Amino acid sequence: MRKIFAILAVAAVAVSCNNHRAVISGDVLGVEDGTIYLAEPGRNGALVDSTEIKSGKFVFNIDTPTAGYYALRTADEVLTAVFTEDGTITVSGNVADSSVLATGTPANEAFNQYNADMTAFNQRYAMAASDEERETMVEEYYAFIDKAIEDNMDNIFGVILFIEQKGYELSAAQMTEKLNALSEPMKALPVVTKALDKAARKMRTEPRAEGSDFVPTYINIEQPNPEGEMVSLKSVVEKAGNKYVLLDFWASWCGPCMGEMPHLKEAYAKYHSKGFEIYGVSFDRSADAWKGAIKKQNMKWVNVSILQSFNNPAAEEYVVESIPTNFLIDCATGEIVAKNLRGEAVLEKLSTLL
């Protein structure tokens, strides 16, 4: 299943808007007198604004040319998420029972409704009598998220939800098309400009989009193998006899990666002699764990790693945000012809190419 939308973990966003004015009026039970803050989301988000809170009451007058999304917090705890958009936003509830909510504007209302519906769904899912019943609820879950996105693409909440939920499943070309169709105020959101930048980088290494003249080619990687020798992807792609190279990002601690190993080993055994090679880039941190997995899994292909997990230049170049991720490279042209071949798909693709 897709992840539940954890809005307080998303990076802060802001959008240009002429004559923007938001008023946040609060009356919250269970908060001591003192100072209340608007902060960037996240546990250690930077403080953006502050005002006095007395007897639970406070007011923020936001008269800047930006609207955005923040955490409303005291020095000790986050009270709620709040979208600062034009209009009056009312914050009310009781800290003791975690009922504090921001209401009164489209994004805040949509966010609250989404969370209430998601909570109800999760409760029904947890109470399902069987795995079969849960399986029947999966399509309902996806449809629920898709509808929340469709209904809210004209506000900040919907745009963030779209990027968070669709960012992994849409191609870079599809993501670009969807984001470019947003209204100009929504396109000005930093979270949107960042997503468009990421999509542009992803497009360089995604298989050619239908109707596109752009040919995505591999970006060279050079990292040490288990013996400490530097081995480049270029040297493997250009090695005489190699016809296709699978660039595979994995790690020993990654269960799904280990689940792919039988398929990769079968493909390697069947097609290596016909020109198939694998260049594995591990996101391990421990040399022992990395080398142990290579030995245990009998991975006879090329393996490299700088042992810095996702803090790897190759992850940045190929926009790898989760593993396993792989790219199939045509050695004759350098073109990336397939991405994320999982399970039997590796064998099926190679059977058509070799």
- The pLDDT profile of the chain, 354 residues, written as one tens digit per residue, is 443 344 444 444 444 444 457 899 999 999 999 999 999 887 778 998 999 999 999 999 987 655 578 999 999 899 999 998 889 999 999 999 999 999 999 999 999 999 999 999 999 999 999 988 998 898 899 999 999 999 999 999 999 999 989 887 888 889 999 999 999 888 888 889 999 999 999 989 999 877 678 899 999 999 999 999 999 999 999 999 999 999 999 999 999 999 999 999 999 999 999 999 999 999 999 999 999 999 999 999 999 999 999 999 999 999 998 999 999 999 999 999 999 999 999 999 999 999
Residue ending a domain, choose from 203, 235, 263: 203
- Does 229 lie in the same domain as 329? yes
pTM: 0.74
- Domain end call among 116, 143, 159: 116
From the centroid of its chain, how far is CA 35? Answer: 34
CB-count exposure of residue 343 (10 Å: 0-12, 13-18, 19+) = exposed
For residues 35 and 84, state if they share a domain: yes
In the chain, the number of structural domains is 3
| pLDDT at residue number 11 | 42
Residue 259 lies in a domain: yes
The residue type at 331: C
Closest CA to 71 of 62, 83, 60: 83
Q: What is the CATH number of the domain that holds 70?
A: 2.60.40
Query: What gap in Å lies between CA 114 and CA 111, rounded to an integer?
Result: 5
Q: What is the DSSP string of 286-335?
A: -HHHHHHHHHHHT--SEEE--S-TT--HHHHHTT--SSSEEEEEETTT-B
**Residues 238, 322 within the same domain:** yes
Q: Are residues 165 and 266 in the same domain?
A: no
- The confidence score (pLDDT) of residue 63 equals 76
Domain-embedded: residue 123: no
Q: How far apart are CA 294 and CA 271, in angstroms?
A: 20
Residue 67 pLDDT: 59
Asked if residues 233 and 280 have their Cβ atoms less than 8 Å apart, the reply is: no
Cα(348)–Cα(87) distance, integer angstroms: 56
Domain boundary among the residues 116, 144, 168 is at: 116
Look at residue 2 and tell me if it is in a domain. no
Residue 303: other Cβ atoms inside 10 A = 22
**Domain membership flag for residue 59:** yes
Instruction: Tell me whether residue 213 is in a domain.
Output: no
Shared-domain flag, residues 23 and 100: yes
Q: Is residue 127 part of a domain?
A: no
Give the range of the structural domain holding residue 49, as residue numbers without chain letter.
7-116
- What tokens does 77 get? 């705890």
Q: How many CA atoms lie within 13 A of 219 on its CB side?
A: 13
